[in-house]
Structure 1
Amino acid sequence: MAKRLISVLLLFIIADIYFYQALLTLTSNTFWHTLYWMVDGVVLLGLMALLVLRRKGKPVHNLVQVAMSGMLLVYVPKLFSFPLLFLEDITRMFRSFPARNIYISEAVVFIAVIVFIAIVFGLTRGKHFYKIKKQTLYFTDLPKAFDGFTITQLSDIHAGSLRNSKAVDKGIALANAQRSDLVLFTGDFVNNMANEVKPWLNSFAALEAPFGKYSILGNHDYGDYIRWQDSSAKAQNLRHLGELQADMGFKLLLNEAVFLQKGQDKIALIGVENWGKGGFQQYGDLKKATALVPDNSFKILMSHDPSHWEAETVNHRQHIHLTLAGHTHGMQFGVELFGYKWSPIQYFYKQWAGLYNKGGKYLYVNRGFGFHGMQGRVGIWPEITVLTLKRVTEKSFAPLAS
């Protein structure tokens, strides 16, 4: 991971130098040249201050937010401009390196301005630009009574980051408007502390579904990222979070399973605690969670971190039909247009957003309802997932989006 981060930083530096070449082509005014490097210097000083304060154990949450926003606004627009300048340099190499074309430099600045505006939108309005993502999944062994059964999935609320109650309530109303049979929440209700939920109790209590609301814990819910007075205070915080989720109408599943019944048919809903690769805690116990689930049951698993799917779920002795996860947020930054999707998170997680399939075992990764770290979303918008389960008799089929 460290090598990848270094590679990203090097790419930012190269793009920064290239963009400065376009600026030199457009103006010889030293004021703009000086301002360019002063802005860069302020961002770099902020990053250095962040590292120093973090090493000293000082609270840096607000500074992290500012630093991330600054890097997005200063470096990312230049990164999108870099390919055009690089291509120009390739042609210049075969022409004995003439002066840069002023029209290409103008185009580069235009691209950067468009990306800058998009980032400003993401940091202001994008955090609540809720999108419904609908997916229909087909199974040959889905119990007949559950044919057409609908699930609304939410994930990664991060209540401690939320501020705009009107916007949040609009998102909850949008989720309720889907009229799903079941509401599932796949972890990270808070950033660190259970009390973050209190201002939002009434809002999330308003979520409703005839088959109930179920939840699991995400890596942030355990309070692992802040210092506690002692271990009992940390444990009490986790218990309190469970109580608050119950107050909102959620049944918290802790390495356990419940059965949902419709008519004479049942399906198993399984919830594991957080289990992740790459240094994340592995509290989840899939073996324990499925101990009382018959092998022939239709199974839906809630597991916060999508890395758990390939690491344990796909090869689990029981067939887990559908796994629902979150965690990645799609890094809250990327591009999703006309079926194409890209985000830097894909270099860290193989499964990071949307639907995945291995041998008839499905994983859906929700992009998250809230936000954390960066106080906004750019291109990867907050998501409300609606899944429809369909029964088919054919042996060969493929998942289709509704």
Structure 2
Amino acid sequence: MKKRVPFILLIIFIADPYFYQAVKTLTTNPLILSAYWLYDLALVLGLILIMLSRSPTRNMPKLISWLMGLVLLSLIPKVAALPVLLLEDVTRLFRGFPPRSEWVSWLAVAVTAVPFVGLLYGLTGGRHYYKVRKETLTFADLPEAFDGFTLTQLSDIHSGSFTSKDGVEKGVAIVNDQQSDVILFTGDLVNNEAIEMDPWIDTFARLTAPMGKFSVLGNHDYGDYKRWEHESDKQFNLVRLKEVHKEIGFKLLLDEAVTIQKGDQSISLIGVENWGTGGFHQYGDLQKATAKVPGDAFKVLMSHDPSHWDAVTLEHDQHIHLTLSGHTHGAQFGIELFGFKWSPIKYIYKQWAGLYQNSGKYLYVNRGFGFLGLKGRVGIWPEITVIELKRG
């Protein structure tokens, strides 16, 4: 967030004075005009405070979350209205710049209503607007016994951000409704500390799958983003988090593989610790995780960060049929309509949401079950993924 503050401030200094012209055309009420600038001043001061802070306080994450929401509510609607005002200014240029038209100003204000309502919903109800996304993948070498095998993928629970027990329990119920053979969780159970899961252990322990529940760690699970008083506290936190995985019924895979058996046939489920590019820690070791996996086995890999797929998995000496990742959250902000999808995260991650294929190998990037930073989701809804494996 701190790195993006100058860019956000630049947009505010451009968009706000320009949109203010429409407001000023429609009203001369000093209270409304003053409130307009006081709101902006509060946002700017908050952003500057974040940019200048060197030692984050305990309440800084909350301040950042609130500011992110308020900035989006303020800026996105105004930016959406700018083309209306710009188009009028083009015509005003050829008309000797007469006063701004009142009806055009009303149109600009009306245009802001759609993104404002959408943002407001995303920041309130959107955090638990779970979407079940289903994919069917066909493989020629899938063992016959696993034709029709289903897995439900969850990722990025981020329990430290939850505030609504009903909302979370709604999501857990939807997961169980899928009745998949296995449930696979691809990391980031917490934001920083294992104790964040304490209120939610009973809830997530209710997840059921007849052939097991399996998990891996994500970048936030290691406690790397918190200043610990002692290194031993950080180490104990990770030990406790691993215990939490057991308490909610998940087998945590730490650079290792397990065999899922049906009759005399099997597939290999592989889990690596977090490994990411762009400055993220590279704890995972795919070579170690696959050391005991037969070369001809059908393989499903859980790896939290999708950048691991391009950087390591595709070139690995064993053929990994399907990789499941998360991590990106789809930035919790974007557009997905009629097959079109966009999010600012696409400029950081080549694979950021949904299904990807390369050389007969698949990657699925889950958009995340929870939320972090931004206290909600706008357009990129929380996801429960169901993948059916078919032989063909």
1:203 and 2:216 aligned? no
Counterpart AA for 1:62: K
Q: 1:104: how far off?
A: 3.1
Q: 1:326: how far off?
A: 0.7
Counterpart AA for 1:251: K
Counterpart AA for 1:55: R
- 2:5–2:51: 8 Å Cα contact kept in structure 1? no
Q: How far apart, CA to CA, are the structure 2 residues paired with 1:344 and 1:88?
A: 29
- 2:2–2:51: 8 Å Cα contact kept in structure 1? no
Q: TM-score, normalised by structure 1?
A: 0.92
DSSP-derived class of the 1:292 partner: coil
Q: How far apart, CA to CA, are the structure 1 residues paired with 2:153 and 2:31?
A: 52
DSSP-derived class of the 1:132 partner: strand
1:55 aligns to what?
54
CA offsets 1:19-77 (integer angstroms, 9 cap, x no match): 2232233234443332211111001111122334x313422121111111211111121
1:378 aligns to what?
378
Q: Superposed, which structure 2 residues align to 1:50-89 within 5 Å? A: 50-52=50-52, 54-59=53-58, 60-89=60-89
Q: 1:95: how far off?
A: 5.2
Q: 1:334: how far off?
A: 1.2
Structure 1 residues 99, 229: closer, same or farther in 2, change over 3 A?
A: same
2:19 aligns to what?
19
Root-mean-square deviation (Å): 2.0
Counterpart AA for 2:255: N
1:223 aligns to what?
223
Q: How many residue pairs align between the two structures? A: 391
Q: How far apart, CA to CA, are the structure 2 residues paired with 1:329 and 1:30?
A: 42
Q: Superposed, which structure 2 residues align to 1:237-386 within 5 Å? A: 237-386=237-386
Structure 1 residues 141, 56: closer, same or farther in 2, change over 3 A?
A: same
1:397 aligns to what?
none
Counterpart AA for 1:58: T
Counterpart AA for 2:321: H
DSSP-derived class of the 1:295 partner: coil
Q: Percent identity?
A: 58
- 1:143–1:265: 8 Å Cα contact kept in structure 2? yes
- 1:257–1:293: 8 Å Cα contact kept in structure 2? yes
CA offsets 1:279-299 (integer angstroms, 9 cap, x no match): 111111111111111222111
CA offsets 1:106-151 (integer angstroms, 9 cap, x no match): 2221121222222221122111111111111121221111111111
1:143 aligns to what?
143
- 1:219–1:280: 8 Å Cα contact kept in structure 2? yes
DSSP-derived class of the 1:133 partner: strand
Q: What residue ranges of structure 1 are gaps of 5+ in the alignment? A: 393-402
Q: 1:18: how far off?
A: 2.8
Counterpart AA for 2:329: H
- 1:12–1:79: 8 Å Cα contact kept in structure 2? no
Q: 1:350: how far off?
A: 1.5
Q: How far apart, CA to CA, are the structure 2 residues paired with 1:145 and 1:264?
A: 9
Structure 1 residues 97, 296: closer, same or farther in 2, change over 3 A?
A: farther
2:102 aligns to what?
102
Q: How far apart, CA to CA, are the structure 1 residues paired with 2:94 and 2:211?
A: 67
1:46 aligns to what?
46
Counterpart AA for 2:112: A
1:232 aligns to what?
232
